[in-house]
């Protein structure tokens, strides 16, 4: 592959360490796959490196090669270099990171910048695609099966297993090369799709009871209360991906999941768009961020009604801007 010079590459080659590769909190496969792939590669290159996350690796990601080596953040250590992957800034780690140099590798629009060595490309289908480019430019012969599987996991899940609008010829080319390097598509799929617990099914059942349509069916969403986790023996990480249920309804343009986080006293919002509405802008108006089709934010509110009101008025504004509704005030009782 022809590659323009990547300033980060020179920094990494010279870096003595210690290096921290950090994923964002509530990790998904792209952030953890990126962190693990980069960590495993740097280790092979003889670097002093650790991989960290604020949260325990959730069940649905515990099959990723190297997952057992992830340390919990924060730690006391002061790193020479800290790299945050698949996040719009270190604030998304949600744990203190002490480092002399900070770098971000990401495919989100906007966000925090730490210097010219940041490696950001909003066009990339996944952050693992960026990590792959970086590692190829360094030494593709050092990309082994474990590294390839981590990279493939992020690429596959961030594209909805090659279904979302960010899937193009380049996505398949990267996937093909990763398979040639040892990534196993079927094994990856089985690990993501066929390892659900009965508790998770019970959670889905409770959550679907909350399914609500708004704005004459243009908006649909679910509410995940903290007690649902306790009642079903699930944990917060089990809420990952549930927003795809309201999204799957015909006629829905914007889907949301409103998730209670009692520990932090706030509501986490996941937003999805089918294409006509830019949910990154909606999330930004609420202090969050993300992509045009998938974004998130946090809302501080006493109860779900307060959080939902705030969310829906921002969503209405997004629908109004795209001409999907005539006025940015509520049309449903």
Assess contact for 115 and 10: CB atoms under 8 A: no
| Peptide linkage before 237 cis (omega within 30 of 0) | no
Torsion-angle region of 111 (φ positive above 0: left; ψ -120 to 50: alpha; else: beta): left
CB of 85 to Mn ion, least distance (A): 9
Looking at beta carbons only, is 61 or 223 nearer to Mn ion?
61
Distance between CA atoms of residues 304 and 298, nearest Å: 12
CB of 296 to Mn ion, least distance (A): 12
Distance between CA atoms of residues 245 and 234, nearest Å: 18
Could you say which of 118, 158, 177, 240 contacts Mn ion (CB under 5 A)? 158
- Applying CB under 5 A, the span of 127-135, 195-203, 316-324, 325-333 interacting with Mn ion comes to 127-135
Query: Which single residue brings its beta carbon nearest to Mn ion?
Result: 30
Looking at beta carbons only, is 15 or 30 nearer to Mn ion?
30
CB of 30 to Mn ion, least distance (A): 3
- Applying CB under 5 A, the span of 24-32, 39-47, 64-72, 187-195 interacting with Mn ion comes to 24-32
Distance between CA atoms of residues 331 and 314, nearest Å: 14
Nearest to 238 by CA among 197, 194, 294: 197
Nearest to 201 by CA among 236, 226, 227, 238: 238
Exposure class string for 21-49: b at 16+ Cβ within 10 A, else e: bbbbbbbbbbbbbbbbbbbbbbbeeebeb
- Applying CB under 5 A, the span of 43-51, 56-64, 97-105, 156-164 interacting with Mn ion comes to 156-164
Torsion-angle region of 74 (φ positive above 0: left; ψ -120 to 50: alpha; else: beta): beta
Give 194's contacts (C-beta < 8 A, 6+ positions apart): none
- Write down how long the chain is: 333
Site string for Mn ion, 178-217 (x = CB under 5 A): ----------------------------------------
The reply on whether position 106 binds Mn ion by CB under 5 A is: no
Looking at beta carbons only, is 27 or 52 nearer to Mn ion?
27
Assess contact for 88 and 111: CB atoms under 8 A: yes
CB of 87 to Mn ion, least distance (A): 9
Give 236's contacts (C-beta < 8 A, 6+ positions apart): 26, 229, 259, 261
The reply on whether position 86 binds Mn ion by CB under 5 A is: yes
CB of 138 to Mn ion, least distance (A): 21
Looking at beta carbons only, is 86 or 177 nearer to Mn ion?
86
CB of 162 to Mn ion, least distance (A): 15
Looking at beta carbons only, is 54 or 291 nearer to Mn ion?
291
The reply on whether position 30 binds Mn ion by CB under 5 A is: yes
- Applying CB under 5 A, the span of 8-16, 120-128, 297-305, 306-314 interacting with Mn ion comes to 120-128
CB of 28 to Mn ion, least distance (A): 7
Assess contact for 53 and 82: CB atoms under 8 A: no
- Residue carrying the six token digits 């509530």: 26
Looking at beta carbons only, is 120 or 328 nearer to Mn ion?
120
Structure tokens at 186: 């079927």
Q: How many residues bind Mn ion (CB under 5 A)?
A: 4
CB of 329 to Mn ion, least distance (A): 34
- The residues binding Mn ion (CB under 5 A) are 30, 86, 127, 158
């Amino acid at each position: 592959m022809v590659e323009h010079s990547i300033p980060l590459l020179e920094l990494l080659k010279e870096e003595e360490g210690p290096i921290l590769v950090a994923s964002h909190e509530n990790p998904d496969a792209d952030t953890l796959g990126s962190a693990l792939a980069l960590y495993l590669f740097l280790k092979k290159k003889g670097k002093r490196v650790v991989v960290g996350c604020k949260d325990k690796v959730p069940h649905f990601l515990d099959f990723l090669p190297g997952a057992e080596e992830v340390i919990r953040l924060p730690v006391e250590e002061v790193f020479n270099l800290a790299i945050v992957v698949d996040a719009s800034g270190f604030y998304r780690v949600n744990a203190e990171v002490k480092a002399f140099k900070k770098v971000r590798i990401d495919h989100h629009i906007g966000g925090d910048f730490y210097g010219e060595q940041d490696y950001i490309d909003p066009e990339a289908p996944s952050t693992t695609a960026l990590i792959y480019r970086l590692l190829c430019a360094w030494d593709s012969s050092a990309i082994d099966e474990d590294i390839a599987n981590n990279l493939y996991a992020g690429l596959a899940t961030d594209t909805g297993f090659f279904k979302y609008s960010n899937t193009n010829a380049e996505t398949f080319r990267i996937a093909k090369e990763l398979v040639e390097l040892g990534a196993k598509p079927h094994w990856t799929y089985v690990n993501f799709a066929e390892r659900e617990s009965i508790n998770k099914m019970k959670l889905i059942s409770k959550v679907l009871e909350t399914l609500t349509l708004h704005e004459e069916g243009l908006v649909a969403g679910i509410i995940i209360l903290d007690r649902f986790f306790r009642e079903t023996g699930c944990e917060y990480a089990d809420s990952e991906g549930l927003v795809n249920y309201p999204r799957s309804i015909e006629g829905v343009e914007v889907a949301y999941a409103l998730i209670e986080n009692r520990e932090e006293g706030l509501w986490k919002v996941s937003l999805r768009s089918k294409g006509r509405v830019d949910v990154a802008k909606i999330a930004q108006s609420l202090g969050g961020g993300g992509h045009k089709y998938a974004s998130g934010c946090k809302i501080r509110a006493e109860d779900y009604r307060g959080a939902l009101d705030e969310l829906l008025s921002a969503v209405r504004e997004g629908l109004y801007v795209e001409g999907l509704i005539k006025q940015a005030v509520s049309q449903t009782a």
